[in-house]
Structure 1
Amino acid sequence: MRTPVVMTLGMVFAPCGLLFNLTSTLAPGWRLVKGFLDQPVDVELYQGLWDMCREQSSSERECGQQDEWGYFEAQPVLVARALMVTSLAVTVLGLLLASLGVRCWQDVPNFVLAGLSGVVLFVAGLLSLIPVSWYSHFLRDRDVLPAPASPVTVQVSYSLVLGYLGSCLLLLGGFSLALSFAPWCKERHKAPSAGPRRSSVSTIRVEWPEPELTPAIKYYSDGQHRPLPAQHRKPKPKVGFPMPRPPPKAYTNSVDVLAGEGWEAAQSQDSTSCSSHPCGSTLPCDSDL
């Protein structure tokens, strides 16, 4: 598995921030004081957290200068010493956790450990940013940070700039590594599958017969195309179901329309009528014909 981008950025920014903060803590360059009346014009005094250095003509540098104004007893200097050292220790701890969580000897990164290292490095960045910002705020305040009176000037030196850069890099690296929590949180809060969803509407599956495909090779007989013989034809499947047929209705007539007709009826009529009236005819009726 390739290392995620957020972990790579964190592992690049955090060591750079550690290097800048370490240089800022040890180097005597938080404040630059120059313009002394009783000394040459090119004399400059660099003040740090642990030492003071006197520099002249950019070639002669003497460290271990005596603190004549009580600079090292100022509250911003004492707080900066404690917080910067704490920030360095926390940064080392965060890098140790990051090296174990990001890759080390594992094929898959430990997202929880990498995210935890990001939180630790972010806290380390805050611990170094607080003293640097506080020192910058009281840089020109001679009552808080003692310095000679005017015309001596006070300026920002390189160690303070390195402290700002180191703190910002630690904050960025810690935030980038803290994003490693995202895959772990996504996997943890994933909803468990409830199984296949059943439809609320009852459905009936109807299997329709597949249409008969046209044969790729036609049947030829005597050089002409002819329909397939009966033995090669497949019976077409019948679709649907037979409808019941109603029984046939027979017409019946309750009245006998042939009553009084026929040979028996004619003979009885002749015997009764001939006695009173003369018989008209002895032929049978039309129905008898």
Structure 2
Amino acid sequence: MQTPASMVMGIVFAPLGLVLVFTAAITPQWREGQAHLAVSGPGSILRSGLRPHGLGVRPGALEALLLIRSDGLWESCLQMAPPELKHCWPVSGAYQKDPRVRLAQGLTLTSLFLCGTGIVLACIGVRCWKDLPLRGVAAAGGLLMVLASLLSLTALSVYSYNISRLGLQDHTYNKQSQLSLRPAGAMYFAWLGSCLQMLGGVALMFSLKRTKCPTCPACPELPACPAGTCPENNKASMHIYEVSC
């Protein structure tokens, strides 16, 4: 069987998009911010007793340090330099309870499930080991991929629109550090993966349309030429398999 180009696009783009979205979902790099903090002197972060989770810095050792805060859907990280110290922990507090974060988590998980199911259906529908594909099954898999893409794009839109307001009431050192949060690398991977899922799903949906079989001038009422009856297509039975629909 000669697999249609639309099916090839679907079974290539969709798994790649699924991998990118899954990688972004488990990475604590949806948003990040940097700030320079005063370690010594009046009003410093150490004098005020606001020590970051699990990171110990001796008073008087440094004059200033760089604070890097990053958050994901299920994990947050805090890095200080110098010295190079990094600590990660599961999301908690107001950030974890924020309904917009919970919405993004639910939409992302549902998107991954739908895309995985769509890929399974697409593999069953393409049936490269058979002469004829199951076009309806492949198109159903493409529809699930499109829905998965829409869900992940919705999650990304909600998160990016509220990125500077998610759980900040629990950010105890935000007022002193003036930490400005912006989209991080994982979100760009998720955007790319969602677009690839959309392309793969649309390509598989287009494969639902049957290709037109060539007709024989000698017998135009037939969808394909019987073997040996048409001078133009007298190529034995192998040609019949190529034009079968």
Verify same fold: TM over 0.5.
Answer: yes
CA contact (8 A) 2:73 2:91 kept: no
Measure, in 2, the Cα distance between the counterparts of 1:163 and 1:95: 18
- Corresponding position of 1:171: 198
CA contact (8 A) 1:54 1:65 kept: no
**Letter matched to residue 64 of structure 1:** W
Change in 2 beyond 3 A, CA 1:83/1:66: closer
- Corresponding position of 1:64: 89
**Letter matched to residue 21 of structure 1:** V
Change in 2 beyond 3 A, CA 1:43/1:169: same
Measure, in 1, the Cα distance between the counterparts of 2:7 and 2:91: 46
Q: Deviations over 1:30-62 (max 9, x none)?
A: 110221533853221110111111123495432
Gaps (5+ residues) in structure 1? 188-194, 196-289
- Corresponding position of 2:125: 101
SS at match of 2:69: strand
Change in 2 beyond 3 A, CA 1:36/1:79: farther
CA contact (8 A) 2:65 2:81 kept: no
Q: Aligned match of 2:181 in 154, 163, 169?
A: 154
Q: Aligned match of 1:55 in 66, 79, 84?
A: 79
**Letter matched to residue 34 of structure 1:** Q
Correspondence 1:1-289 to 2 at 5 A: 1-35=1-35, 37=37, 38=45, 40-57=64-81, 60-64=85-89, 67=92, 70-140=94-164, 142=165, 144-146=166-168, 147=171, 148-149=174-175, 151-183=178-210
CA contact (8 A) 1:138 1:145 kept: no
The CA RMSD measured in Å over matched residues stands at: 2.6
| 1:135 CA drift (Å) | 0.7
Q: Which has the larger radius of gyration?
A: 1
Count, aligned residues: 186
**Letter matched to residue 173 of structure 1:** G
Identify the structure with the greater strand proportion: 2
| 1:78 CA drift (Å) | 0.3
Change in 2 beyond 3 A, CA 1:163/1:66: closer
Measure, in 2, the Cα distance between the counterparts of 1:30 and 1:66: 13
Measure, in 1, the Cα distance between the counterparts of 2:121 and 2:91: 42
What's the % identity of the aligned pairs?
A: 33
SS at match of 2:13: helix
SS at match of 2:2: coil
Measure, in 2, the Cα distance between the counterparts of 1:110 and 1:164: 30
| 1:104 CA drift (Å) | 4.4
Give TM-score scaled by structure 1 length: 0.59
CA contact (8 A) 2:21 2:194 kept: yes
Change in 2 beyond 3 A, CA 1:64/1:176: same
Identify the structure with the greater helix proportion: 2
The runs of at least 4 aligned residues of structure 1 exceeding 6 Å deviation read none
Change in 2 beyond 3 A, CA 1:66/1:51: closer
**Letter matched to residue 156 of structure 1:** P
Measure, in 1, the Cα distance between the counterparts of 2:91 and 2:125: 47
State the structure with bigger RCO (CA 8 A, min sep 6), 1 or 2. Answer: 2
